[in-house]
Amino acid sequence: MSVINGYQAPAPRELVEDFGPEPYDINFCFPIDFSRLESERVKLVPFLPRLHAQIYLDQVLQHPELETWLPFNYTRLAHVLHLVEVNFRQNSASVAFAVIDKGRPDPEHPEWGGSMAGVTGLIKASPENLSVEIGWVITFPAFQRTYVTSSANALLLRYCLATPDEQNPGLGLRRVQWFANAKNVPSVNTALRLGFKMEGKLRWERIIPAKYSSVAANGAPIRPGDPKPETLSRDSSLLSCCADDWANGGRELVQRILDRK
């Protein structure tokens, strides 16, 4: 019997340079009740490219270190629009949020009830397996080392793991995971503070942008004959918070984070 491999690599996708449909359709496979994603201090709102993309880009251009640990490096608005449209809106397993700090009014956007402090999101959602990953977590420098990062992602974790019949009802998922460069200690520590448990390290998990390889790479040499000798790789830490963690103290831990004054 003869065998062939007719695979052809897909053509590179052109950059998407529009702001998405109007009205904006987040197109996510789980229902999102935004009233459950708000505390006294922060709230999560849909990441709307027309409103939030330029703010994100401005922060990255002013503080390029924000993307040190990410698998991309954006310098144009079209890059951000492409990410949100293709990786999030057109992908029903992902949804992006803008994080609003309610404690800092934005004179240019008083209708927001605060200032955009960063982004977070849900990716790799699986209704079949009742699982999801928290991803694209960025907090702008002016809001780091405050309540913003922990509160925003505590809200998201609570919404994912709480059952529909709890006092603060949620989706009732069984697994929420957190994925980070193994060298990104602040990200790993954020997850641990939220109640995530370390599951292990995935070695050589992905190739990373050359711009940040001196910081983010795993430091291992590339062997002779490697198909991509000009690139380096990273190791990744995998953490999770699951239904049993939630029932055995996770719920109370997250609530304490949200109740902090």
pLDDT tens for 57-108 read 999 999 999 988 888 788 899 999 999 999 999 999 999 999 999 999 999 9
Whole-model pTM over 0.85: yes
The strand ranges marked E within the chain are: 42-46, 95-101, 115-126, 131-134, 138-139, 175-181, 197-208, 232-242
Model pLDDT, residue 210 = 77
Nearest Cα neighbor of 196 from 253, 124, 234, 136 is 253
> What span, in angstroms and rounded, lies between the C-alpha atoms of 187 and 196?
11
> Which pair of structure tokens corresponds to residue 146?
């405050």
Burial tier of 5 (Cβ tally within 10 Å: 0-12, 13-18, 19+): exposed
Domain range list for the chain: 34-259
**Which architecture does CATH list for 34-259?**
3-Layer(aba) Sandwich (3.40)
- Residues 122-149 have pLDDT tens digits of 999 999 999 999 999 999 999 999 999 9
Model pLDDT, residue 206 = 92
Kindly report which listed range (98-102, 115-119, 217-221) carries the lowest average pLDDT score. Answer: 217-221
